[in-house]
Structure formats: C-alpha cells, structure tokens
Structure 1
C-alpha cells in the first residue's frame, strides 16, 4: 500500500516537472512577440504622429502660380496682371495634375512648383466647372505620385489632413475630421457629392490634397463654406471625393470634357409631411426636359427609370450619368396623387 502511494507521488512530480518545462518553453517562444507588441504601443515617449502619412503624400502636392489679366479702371484702361495662388496633386507618372477649376480659370499662364525645387509650366487638359475640377499636365521625369486606392471610402469621423500652399507661405498641413459626406450642407443642387470637414483651407490651398491618416488621397480641397452675407464660416470646408475626382479626371483626359444629362429642376429637402423617400421639386427651368414633360414646383419625385430616389444627390447623379437623348420614366406625387411622365434628357451646358 505504501509502495503504491510512493509511486503515485513520484508520477505526480514527474508530470508537474514536464508541464512546467512545457510552459517555460512556450513563454520563451512567446517573449519576442510580446516585446514586439509592446514596442508598437503608443507611449508617452512615442506620441501619436501623422509624419508617415505626410511623408507619403506631401511630395506629390504642388504649388500652382497662374497669371490672369483683369480690366483696367476708367482712369487707367491698361489691363492689370494678377498673380493667383493654388495647389495641385500629381496623379500619375506622365504628369497629370488634379486641381480646382477656379485656380486655373481664365488665366494666361500657369507655373507649377514641386516640393523638390523643380519648376515648370503646365498645360490645361480640361476643366469641369460643375465639380470645380481641372486637369493639368507637366513634362517632367521621376515624379512623386500621391498614394491612391479606388476602393477606399470616407466615413464621418475619419481623421484627415489637408495639404496645400495657403497664402504662399509654403506647403502647410492642417488636420481635422470628416464631419459629413453626401450632397447636403447647403449645396443641394450640386453634382459633386462633397465631403465636409474642419481641416482648414485658406486661399492658395484650393486644389490641394485631402489625405487620410495613412497618406492616401481621399479628396481634392475645394472651398470654405460661405454664409448668407458671403463671409467665411470657420470649421466648415469642402473637398471633392477622390473617387468622383478620379472619374472626372479620366473623362477629361480621354474625352476633353464631361458630358452630363440635364433634367432642369431645382430640388429641396423632403417636407416633414412626406414620409416616403424622394426629392422635392422647388423649381423647373423654362423649356427644359422637366418643363416639357409637365413637371412643376412642389412635385415630389420618388422614382426615375424604375430606380427609387432617396436624395437630391442620388437623383442628380442618375440624371448626370444618363446619355443625352435618353427617355426616362419619372414617377412623382402631386397633391397626394401618384403620377407618371416621360422625360427626354438633354445635354447639360455651362
């Protein structure tokens, strides 16, 4: 009996020793992984930084200097030459640059300055006033290209960095978050599904890059929101989303222009009394496709070409992407009665 207990005790000790050795070996194997994880943690000695994102994106953001002539005064009829400032983004290795259309509108010459010190003239490939985008081209080799990913989508709350040349102070970085996405924010009739953010854009930074915390392009900086009296509103700035800008850039490069469908309605917010998704018609352009189809103010459009329409931006996008001459069936509500009409889309001119 005593011998059996002694053997049991010895077996227990042996199993314990073996288990201890296994655990020790596992801890030794795991130690490098733990050390690496601890090294990556943000500590007081390693504060949060966006330096990596800036180093990736900033070299591809250029300064744009354009000259334009303005009329002289009554007492001096000679035109005056005015220097205008802006920013742009190198998009590919053949020298295409995206910028804001208002930066290069009605100018006589354009100079581009890279961050590596090189300067060169630029040619306008095309402009799109609707989205306020323009494509330039420069003839230089070894160009820095901004990181891009067409699968990326921006969300409210994303941290963003605006890169540009405000007031010709030199390249400057401002930081903020995306506070809204989609075609709202007082630009209901806009064809640009704008991003709203609070990263500051001052004069000269228009056309610059809006990038995420990894340095990838998410938008082209556009403008500051203006109040009823025309004054700038702090903390409300806009950018054209990268995916839309890339589509516009491709069309300008390949076709020289952006052809859009035109319906001819002004739209507004959904009235509180209307629960069904749709868009409110607040006005109809005379002799437009909408006018000829019998649409009028206060109609409530709920479907276009069999597709339910939930917002003004969605409806404008559908019309914009429709080839001129196409007939579309429009379902709408007027005086609590559902009606249908057919419109023939024409070409948007500007």
Structure 2
C-alpha cells in the first residue's frame, strides 16, 4: 500500500513542474523558441565591443563623389606656338539627379574639355554652367540618368568638434577618404568677399581632393572641400588647416549659377581697421570713391551699429548682410557720428561695379 502515496507524490511534483513551466513560458516568451536557448556556462563570454567605423557613411556618400579631369589647350611660344595639353585633376559632388555637379572653380578654370568619371568608371563629358571665383565654386552639367545624389540635411548646422570625412581623388590615386574634425566655423580672409561662413577642419585635402565632398558621420554633406585656400601663402608650411565651403552657402551659389550663370552680390564699398566693442559695431576706416557708401554720405569715422534695425557685430557681419542684398535695395544704416545717432539710407549696387 506504500505504492499509492509514492505515486501521489510523483504526480503532485510533476504537476507543480508543469505549472511552473507554463508560467515561465507565459512570462518569458523567448523560452518558447528552442533555437534561442544557449547553454554557455562553460563557454567564455565575448564582451569585445565593435570597433568604431564610418564605413556606412562612406558607402552612403562615396557614389556621389566623382573625379574631374579638365584639359586646357595652350600655345607655347618657345616651340613655335605648338599646342600643349595641360590636365588638371579634381573632384566633384553630384548635387542633383538632373546631372548638376558642384566642384571648385580653380579645377575647371579656362578648361577646354571637362571629363567626369563616376565611381563605377563611367566617363561623361561635362559642360560648365557657371562659376564663382570668390567662393571658388563652379557648377557642371552632365547628360545622364539615375545618377547617385549626395545626401543632404537642410537643418544641419556644422559645429566645432563634429567628425567629418573628406572624400575625393588626391593625386589621382583613386577615391580616398580622410577623417578629421571641424576645427572652426565662420572663418574669414579666405577670399575678398569677407564671408564669415567658411569651415576650417583638419581632414587632409591635397591636389585632386578639391571640389570633393565633406560629409559627417551620417554621410550627409557638410561642405565642398578646397585646396585652393591653403595656397594663399605658399611659403607657409601648413599642417592640419584645411577649408571647405559650407553646404548651405554652396547650395545657394549653385542655384544662382544654374538660374543666372553668375552670382549677384551687393556692394557697399567700405573698409575698417577699428572695432568698437562698446557699441558692437565697426568704425568706417575708408570709403571707395563713388561707392554706395560714399554716394549715400557715409564718412570716415562713422560708427555703424545697425543695418535695417539688425545689430551689427563687426564689419564682416555687415558685409555679409550687404552681399546677400539684391542690387537696388535700400538699406538703412544706423550710425553714430560725433556721438549723434543718425540713420543713413544706402542704395546697394552690384558687386561687379566695384571692379569697373
């Protein structure tokens, strides 16, 4: 008769075990899939973290970066005016599926023949749509379909310390990627426009990289690289200082070149050697004869504090506002002259008139 209690005990234990299993299967769904079970009690756990990689960003952006070969035919007087063919090397970025490509102006300057080579080695002839020497940008057009287009983020604001990747074809070695960070934003003195928007970085830019893409770690376009600005003082041994035109400025220049074939800028005609930190403006040091500033009655020594009620930080800030103003528009300059606050209306003229 001892067999009955033993069987009762076994059945009760089995029931408890089954009930526990059912509860676990309900509470832990992963246990329902036997393939997910792993018994690694005696297996060492591999907790090695994955290496940091920008391969996805490069894979996303690289197909839209092209090689550019511009050929110039010159007559050499030393050899009885025999024609000599010179080839310049550069890079470009496909900005539009219609075949518009951004590159540097110095890459295609005076070129007779421009050839674009895609990442898949396809060669295409390109025509020059327009160029802007002051920002060292040019727009090319190729006739092709299904072109890879660079990814952009219109809300992107480049910040100091952002990781950036420069993609181009340095020294004709083939597409190459260099990595660095944005060292500074709002750099001036890189061209005679006094634009404050140039990016400074330490991602290496060499001959052939000019006109290539500067992208962030997501593969979005940050700017158009240029080796030209590093040659402003060729006697200086520059290391780790390279420049790029930020995407928003480059996109605006591109649209103007596509629409008008040139960039229209406003011109003021003043310079300044002094700043006035108390008033957050600038002191006019000199005026170009017959310039908009001169014709409006601005004078040397005037302190410009506002333009159209916008506070002015520096002369570069003021010149940027003027450059972005359409010729013919009147801007109201708030100035201090001999401690008296005055408003002087200035009719802005086109920048090209400064050179005529």
Task: Return the TM-score normalized by structure 2.
Answer: 0.80
Is the CA contact (8 Å cut-off) linking 1:131 and 1:192 kept in structure 2?
Answer: no
Task: Name 2:269's counterpart in structure 1.
Answer: 264
How far apart are residue 189 of structure 1 and its match?
4.1
SS in 1 for 2:82: coil
Q: Which digits, 9 at most, give the CA deviation of each residue in 1:257-301, with x for residues without a partner?
A: 221111112345x63x63222234444222211122233455432
How far apart are residue 89 of structure 1 and its match?
0.3
How far apart are residue 307 of structure 1 and its match?
1.5
CA gap 1:47/1:86 in 2 versus in 1, 3 angstroms: same
Gaps of 5+ in 2: 1-19, 32-46
SS in 1 for 2:98: coil
> Please, which moves more after superposition, 242-251 or 338-347?
338-347
Task: Name 1:244's counterpart in structure 2.
Answer: 249
Task: Name 2:278's counterpart in structure 1.
Answer: 275
Is the CA contact (8 Å cut-off) linking 2:307 and 2:333 kept in structure 1?
Answer: yes
The answer to whether the aligner puts 1:294 opposite 2:293 as a matched pair is no
User: Which whole-Å CA distance do the structure 2 matches of 1:287 and 1:127 have between them?
Assistant: 28
The answer to whether the aligner puts 1:142 opposite 2:146 as a matched pair is yes
- Correspondences of 1:1-350 after superposition (within 5 Å): 25=27, 44=48, 46-74=50-78, 76-184=80-188, 189-191=193-195, 193-223=197-227, 224-226=229-231, 228=233, 230-267=235-272, 271=275, 274-334=277-337, 338-349=341-352
User: Which whole-Å CA distance do the structure 2 matches of 1:90 and 1:229 have between them?
Assistant: 30
User: Which whole-Å CA distance do the structure 2 matches of 1:172 and 1:244 have between them?
Assistant: 25
User: Which whole-Å CA distance do the structure 2 matches of 1:188 and 1:236 have between them?
Assistant: 19
Is the CA contact (8 Å cut-off) linking 2:196 and 2:317 kept in structure 1?
Answer: no
Task: Name 1:14's counterpart in structure 2.
Answer: none
Task: Name 1:12's counterpart in structure 2.
Answer: none
Q: Which digits, 9 at most, give the CA deviation of each residue in 1:201-236, with x for residues without a partner?
A: 101111000000010001000234346564351111
* Rg (Cα) greater in structure: 2
SS in 2 for 1:126: strand
**Aligned residue-pair number:** 322
Q: Which digits, 9 at most, give the CA deviation of each residue in 1:81-117, with x for residues without a partner?
A: 2100110001121111011111111111100000111
RMSD (Å) for aligned C-alpha atoms = 3.2
Is the CA contact (8 Å cut-off) linking 2:194 and 2:320 kept in structure 1?
Answer: no
Is the CA contact (8 Å cut-off) linking 2:171 and 2:206 kept in structure 1?
Answer: yes
CA gap 1:59/1:158 in 2 versus in 1, 3 angstroms: same
> Please, which moves more after superposition, 184-193 or 133-142?
184-193
CA gap 1:151/1:267 in 2 versus in 1, 3 angstroms: farther
SS in 1 for 2:263: coil
Task: Return the TM-score normalized by structure 1.
Answer: 0.82
Task: Name 1:35's counterpart in structure 2.
Answer: none
**Which structure 1 residue ranges, 4+ long, deviate > 6 Å from structure 2?**
26-29
Gaps of 5+ in 1: 1-17, 30-42
CA gap 1:188/1:117 in 2 versus in 1, 3 angstroms: closer
User: Which whole-Å CA distance do the structure 2 matches of 1:227 and 1:344 have between them?
Assistant: 33
Q: Which digits, 9 at most, give the CA deviation of each residue in 1:112-157, with x for residues without a partner?
A: 0001110010011111222221111111222111111111111010
Q: Which digits, 9 at most, give the CA deviation of each residue in 1:31-71, with x for residues without a partner?
A: xxxxxxxxxxxx74521000000000011100000011345
User: Which whole-Å CA distance do the structure 2 matches of 1:110 and 1:243 have between them?
Assistant: 26
CA gap 1:298/1:53 in 2 versus in 1, 3 angstroms: farther
